[in-house]
A and B are shown apart, each in its own frame.
Chain A
């Protein structure tokens, strides 16, 4: 399944073709936000910019999903909220992480999608990147 894209989110998805995670920043507030929106949620400014994220994060929380929400999805997998060093929280998967826990330091990795884009996932910082 390839996620849809719209005019606001296209730069975010395009960056994943080069395995780059970007965040939307407000030039006035100097604050990042995720998911990408048509305005800054702090001040309403519309012309936001994109900056790379460090890829380092901490697990805010997680859940091991044991049942498929729909046909074609294979449990088990570790769904997680990770808090990026820059502040925003991402919904993601933890991989190569047999013992997930809250506050675990993790780093960015990527899962290829069928159309050349990539899906950001996270692995423990103690694991060697592939």
Chain B
């Protein structure tokens, strides 16, 4: 993608920090993510002049810059839930193209499993104006919103919980091929196991829900021109798009008409590609329902046909095992990018998608509140 200043931008480094149950602090995990991604790029901390992160104190990029000993020329901590890392790619690409920064690190880490900080009301903000009209009814946040979207989805298309369960089954299958995945050594999952798992917020059970783990990662962006001189094959940022729609549970007129459609349309237009051009997709799977909603809005599946696309395995989706079976450190969007980069470099071993040249990454934040799509490709 060509920015205002005319420069194309690429991802040149990608890495995870330790994942799972680490016993480490968030700062240690952030340090691992940043230094490993830089090492992957053949770069060092001293090269970094742009930094984007969140989940690290009240002034996230500022505080991480202090911890890492950096003095960046560009920093960014927009908060929009788990979609935000895909938004950071857009903003970083613009900063590099505009000459405001040359080497941007986008990172995230959380030790939420070690710290036991996750709750079923996590993220509900009592200070919001809509809270007066929501809190008295005790929704699980964000899960009950996704559950209502799921019931509406199943109702509209005449599908059943078993159709959603296919998403969890596929995620486990991919995780068993990824040595870093939480469920790498677990047995295959069956639809019946998902259906008989303890219900949390119907129709979603514990096995329709993402993991609660420590983890995180980082990616490094620079100009495509400079990327060609670095050790790893550059992964070009071909296009991006985003959309923000609501925070209140009663605001969206239609639960199934999410911002993903706008985000995807904008990203495809910028990249000059269509859904049929995508070789591998990484879409945020906070819950099983997230995946068909995103696939259909993005044009990768017909309305109501998302579960069938997952079941068919025609398109490789969430090849890491996703938030359902690989890692979910509170905000998963950074790890979607890491996996997409690795697939396009051919680094994925047993789970490698043969000949993958284009990857779509779709982040979703809040309660389907914010959506951001990034399309990546091998350097032509």
* Chain A interfacial positions (CB closer than 8 Å to B): 1, 3-6, 8-9, 13, 34-35, 37, 60-70, 73, 77, 79-81, 88-93, 101-103, 113, 119
- Write the nearest CB–CB distance from A69 to chain B, whole angstroms: 4
Which of A37, A62, A90 is close to B129, meaning CB atoms less than 8 Å apart?
A37
Q: Which residues of chain A are within 8 angstroms of B136 by Cβ–Cβ distance?
A: 1, 3, 113, 119
- A35 and B140 contact, CB distance less than 8 A: no
Please provide the chain B residues from 224 to 263 with a CB less than 8 Å away from any CB of chain A in the complex: 248-253, 255
- A35 and B138 contact, CB distance less than 8 A: no
Which of A67, A79, A93, A101 is close to B148, meaning CB atoms less than 8 Å apart?
A79
Binary contact track B160-204/A, C-beta < 8 Å → 1, others 0: 000000000000000000000000000000000000001111111
- B202 and A63 contact, CB distance less than 8 A: yes
Contact A66/B202 with A35-B129, A61-B149, A102-B155 known, Cβ cut-off 8 Å = yes
Contact A67/B133 with A61-B149, A79-B148, A89-B253 known, Cβ cut-off 8 Å = no
Q: Which of B120, B137, B198 has the most CB of A within 10 A?
A: B137
- A70 and B250 contact, CB distance less than 8 A: no
CA distance A9 to B312 in the complex (A): 50
Which of A6, A13, A62 is close to B151, meaning CB atoms less than 8 Å apart?
A62
Which of A9, A61, A67, A73 is close to B152, meaning CB atoms less than 8 Å apart?
A61
3 closest residue pairs by CB, A with B = A63-B147, A69-B121, A102-B155
- A67 and B140 contact, CB distance less than 8 A: yes
CA distance A90 to B203 in the complex (A): 20
Chain A interface main SS type: loop
- B155 and A70 contact, CB distance less than 8 A: no
Q: Which residues of chain A are within 8 angstroms of B152 by Cβ–Cβ distance?
A: 60-61, 102
CA distance A64 to B137 in the complex (A): 12
Q: Which residues of chain B are within 8 angstroms of A63 by Cβ–Cβ distance?
A: 144, 147-148, 150-151, 201-204
Q: Which residues of chain B are within 8 angstroms of A102 by Cβ–Cβ distance?
A: 151-152, 155
Chain B contact residue count (CB 8 A cutoff):
39
Q: Which residues of chain A are within 8 angstroms of B255 by Cβ–Cβ distance?
A: 60-61, 81
Q: Which residues of chain B are within 8 angstroms of A6 by Cβ–Cβ distance?
A: 129, 132
Q: What are 30 A-B residue pairs whose CB atoms fall within 8 Å in the complex?
A: A1-B136, A3-B131, A3-B132, A3-B133, A3-B136, A4-B132, A6-B129, A9-B129, A9-B132, A35-B132, A60-B148, A63-B144, A63-B151, A63-B201, A63-B203, A64-B201, A64-B202, A65-B140, A65-B201, A66-B198, A66-B199, A67-B140, A67-B201, A70-B119, A77-B137, A79-B144, A79-B148, A81-B250, A88-B250, A119-B137
Nearest CB in chain A to that of B156: its residue: A102
- A70 and B121 contact, CB distance less than 8 A: yes
Q: Which residues of chain A are within 8 angstroms of B130 by Cβ–Cβ distance?
A: 35
Q: Which residues of chain B are within 8 angstroms of A80 by Cβ–Cβ distance?
A: 148
- A35 and B139 contact, CB distance less than 8 A: no
Q: Which residues of chain B are within 8 angstroms of A37 by Cβ–Cβ distance?
A: 129
Asked if B74 is an interface residue, CB under 8 A from chain A, the answer is no
CA distance A77 to B138 in the complex (A): 9
